[in-house]
Amino acid sequence: MLLSDDISPDYIKSLDIAGKKQLCEEIREFLIDNVSGTGGHLASNLGTVELTVALHSVFSTPGDKIVFDVGHQSYTHKIITGRKEGFKKLRSAGGISGFPRNTESEHDAFIGGHSSISVSAALGIAKAMQLKGEEGNVVAVIGDGALTGGEAYEGLNNIDHTAKNLIVVLNDNEMSISRSKGTVADYLTRMRSSRSYYDKKEAVKEFLSHSSVGKEISRSISGTKDLVKFAIYQSNIFESLGLKYYGPVNGHDIKKLIEILEIAKITNEPCIVHIKTKKGKGYKPAELNSGEYHGIARGNRTGLRSRSYSELAGQQLLKLAEKDDRICGVTAAMKYATGLEHIAKAYPERFFDVGIAEQHALTFSCGLASQGMIPVFAVYSTFLQRCFDQLVHDASIEKKHIVLFVDRAGFVGEDGETHQGIYDVPMLTSVPGTEIWSPFDEATLNMCIEKAVRSDGISVVRYPRGICPEGGVAEYSDCYLSGSGSDTLIVTYGRISIDAQSVKEADTLTLLKIFPIPDEAVETALKYKRVLFFEESMRNGGIAEKFMCRLFERGFSGGYHITAIEKPASAADTDTQLAEAGLDAEHIARQIRNQE
C-alpha cells in the first residue's frame, strides 16, 4: 500500500514508474470510496489522477506554482500535498474545501471555484515571480471545457515570449460539465487527429537522413515547414499565439506525461502541453455518464438526482415549450445540472449549449429575443455574476424579453464561498426593467415560470438547490399573508418562508414576486407594529432594505429589523449555513421573541 496519510510531493518523486502507476490506482480507489460518502466532484478528479502525479513528479510546490482551472479537478493534488486525512470532512464545516484555497495550503497557488481563470492568474503569478527574481515554473491546468470561456483566450492572447516560466496544460477530455460544444471543441477534435502530421514528418526525416543529398534537401525544405504543417492539420491556434505546442499526449500514460512535462520545463519559453484524458477514468458508471457524476451528493454513489427545483423547472419549461414554439432553452455547459435536458431531448433545434461562456449565453439570448423568440437561460446564481454588463447593455437598455432561471439561489452548502448564490438579488434589482419571482414549492415554481415566460423585459425566477416541496398553493398571488392577527409581521421569500410560516408568535407575509416590491405587500406591512424581514441574500442592496425604504416613505413608525446575509458562507450543509445566518425556524422564532 503506497497511499499513506503522510504522502508528500517528495515521496511521489522517489517512486519509480511502476510505483507511480500503482499509486494512481490507489488514489483512484480512494477517491471513489471517499467522495461517494462525502459528496463532491468525482468524474473530473478521476480523470486527472495521472496528470497530477506527473505534475508533482516534475515540479516542486510551493516553489513551483500549479493553478487549477477549475479547482474541482484538484482532489489528487490535495491528497499529495498532505490533506488525505482531511477527506473525511471534505466540503464540510471545519473540513477541507472542494476547491484550491491558498488559506488552506501553501501548495494551492490560487483559488479555483469558477472556470476559465487559470491562464490569467498563472500569467500574473509568473510575471510577479520574474519581477521579484524568484526561480520556479507556473503551470496552469485548464480543461477543454474551460477553454470555451472568453477569459481563457484573453489570458492566452496576453502571453508573450518573456513569460518563460509559464506552462499551460490543456486537459482535453471533451467535456466541461456537459459535453463540450462549439467551434473550439471541433477544433480540438481536429488537433487530436493530427498525429498523422507528426508520423509523416518523422518518416520523411528518417528517409532523407540516409544520404548527403537527402540531408541537403531536408535543409532546403525547412523553410516550407509551416506551410506543410498548415496544409496537413489546418494550423495550430496556440503556435499562432506564439506558444510552443506539445501534444496531444495520452493523459493516463504516466511515463509519457512525465517526459513531456520535463521537456516543457526545460524549454524556457511559454508553451502548451496538450493531453487527452477520460473523465471518470477507472469507474465505469462515471466513464459512461460523466455528466451525472460530475458532482454527486453526500452518500450518493449513483450520482442520480431526486426531484429538485432544477429538475421540476426543466419539466415545467418543456410543458410550456410544447405549446409555444418561440420558447428556447439556453445553457452554459450545464444541461443536466439545470434540468434543460428535457427540452434538449424533445426540441433539439430550440436548445443551445454555448459552452462555459455565460456572457455570450446572455447576449446570444438577447439576439434570440430581438427576433421574437423567448429564450430561457438557466444558470447558477454564482455564474450569473459574470453577466452584469450584458444584463445592462444588451437586455435592459433595449428592453429585450429574456427569461433567467437563476438556479442555486441562496446558500448552496458544501461548495463553499465561491459558489454561494447570494449576490444575484442586489445585482438584478439594480438593472432597470427586471422582474424577479422567488417560489417556495412546486406549485409556486410552476406559477412563477409561467408568469416569467409571459411577462416582458428581464424576467427572473430564482430558486434554491435541493428538494422542492410539493406545496398546496392553488392560485397565484404576488404575496401571501398567513397568521392569526399578531401585531408583529415576518416578511420573507423563497424556501425560508416555509420555516417562517411555522412561527406562531407572528404573522407571515411571503413574497412570491420580490421585485418590484408589490404595493399590496407594503400596504399590508403598514398595519403592523413591528416588521421583521428575513432574507436569504446579501443584506446590502437586498429586498429587505428596499422594503424598509418603501415603508418609511409611507410614514411607517413602528419597529423594523433585518436578518440577512452579511458575508459569504464557508463549506457546510445548507441547514448549518441557514442556522448560522439566523434564517432557520429556531432563530426566526428567537428573533421574534427578542423584539417583543
Amino acid occupying residue 546: K
- The angle subtended at Cα 581 by Cα 590 and Cα 300, nearest 5°, is 115
For residue 47, give the C-alpha cell. 480523470
Q: Which residue has the cell 425556524?
A: 585
Q: In this structure, what DSSP letter does residue 568 have?
A: P
358 is an active site residue: yes
CB-count exposure of residue 183 (10 Å: 0-12, 13-18, 19+): exposed
CA 455 remoteness from chain centre:
29
Q: In this structure, what DSSP letter does residue 483 have?
A: S
Q: In what order do the strands lie in the sheet with 271-276?
A: 65-69, 138-143, 166-172, 271-276, 244-250
Amino acid occupying residue 397: I
SS3 260: helix
CA 496 to CA 184: how far, in whole Å? 42
* 183: Cβ contacts below 8 Å, ≥ 6 apart: none
Q: In this structure, what DSSP letter does residue 281 have?
A: T
Q: How many CB atoms lie within 10 A of CB 258?
A: 18
For residue 361, give the C-alpha cell. 449565453
Helix (H) or strand (E) holding 537: strand 530-538
Residue in 50, 174, 358, 414 annotated catalytic:
358
Q: Which residue has the cell 455570450?
A: 360
CA 518 to CA 547: how far, in whole Å? 10
Please answer whether residues 417 and 456 qualify as being in contact, where contact means their C-beta atoms are separated by less than 8 angstroms. Answer: no
Residue in 386, 408, 465, 513 annotated catalytic:
386
279 is an active site residue: yes
SS3 322: helix
CA 375 to CA 403: how far, in whole Å? 6
C-alpha separations of 581 from 13, 194, 564, 568 in Å: 45, 54, 7, 10
Please answer whether residues 477 and 495 qualify as being in contact, where contact means their C-beta atoms are separated by less than 8 angstroms. Answer: no
Q: Which residue has the cell 517528495?
A: 10
Amino acid occupying residue 198: Y
Residue in 279, 281, 335, 408 annotated catalytic:
279
DSSP string covering 420-470: -B-SHHHHHTTSTTEEEE---SHHHHHHHHHHHHTS-SEEEEE--SSBPP-
DSSP string covering 11-26: HHHHS-HHHHHHHHHH
CA 421 to CA 377: how far, in whole Å? 16
* Total residue count of the chain as it appears in this document: 596
Catalytic residues: 279, 358, 386
